[in-house]
Amino acid sequence: MIYTCYEMVRDCRADRPEGWRFLIVQYVPVMRRIVRHYGGKESDAEAGMIAAIARPDSPLFASLDPAPERVFVAGLRQEILKRIPAPAAEIPVTLDAVAAALEPLTLTEKQAAWLETIGYDAEESGAMLRMAPKTVSAIRARAAELLRGKTDAWRPSLLAENGRALGQEAAAGTADCLSPKKFLDIIDGRTTWAGREELARHTGGCWHCIDHFCRLVEVVKLIRGIEPLSEAEAEPFFRALKLAPGKPAGWKRWFANS
């Protein structure tokens, strides 16, 4: 039987060592990938980072459902970003201004624009959204012009330069926000036309859900091709958390959707 993220969340909530071992072996490589993308120091993904999040009451372990691995990695990303300083943008722009400017765009177009705020170029975004990079570039050019009409100061890189601040603004949701399952159903091709219409209506005015949708799309990229730590690589982390050496169950496994 393969030990999964579901069991890891359950065991970390119960403060069992097998949960923490699995977190280290499988997710330190993911943490390093996140840190590199968002411009943090490699040491931010080392023992200090693990110690900061490795507690039973961490929000990372709040839920077991749905599709726990992708939801867990999306939450892991958020926890890591709290610990990576964000440079101030030379020309700040608010989420309200972005929302007003980009209101005419479709859901997919808003995703293509928003992925620029989280640091993905047209080629990477096209692969995540399953569209041609030229299409992404065209959408972003239109989004830039729409934003230009709503701001006093502007340049083409405005969204990218304000990405971290916009992400922080968008992080707070409401009781009406959609569950991760709604987004995962679209990503996995399980949604109905009615379900997609519901999502499009809600995201017409909710940039928290657009951000959340993009984060779950990003997760597929973050976990693709990740290799777990070797015993030697994991051992310093085990020491930092005072865990006895030993392989967690399911040492050799594959990430979901990788």
Domain ranges of the chain: 5-85+226-240, 95-222
In the predicted structure, residue 3 carries a pLDDT above the cut 60: yes
Q: Which two tokens stand for residue 161?
A: 């330069």
Of 2-6, 27-31, 199-203, 249-253, which has the strongest mean pLDDT? 27-31
Tens of pLDDT along 217-240? 999 999 999 999 998 999 988 988
Residue type, 6: Y
Rg, the chain, Cα only: 19
- Give the number of residues written for the chain: 258
Tens of pLDDT along 32-67? 999 999 987 776 666 667 777 888 888 888 877 756
Q: What is the four-CA torsion angle of 34, 200, 68, 258, rounded to 10 degrees?
A: -60
How far the first Cα of the chain sits from its last, in Å, is: 19
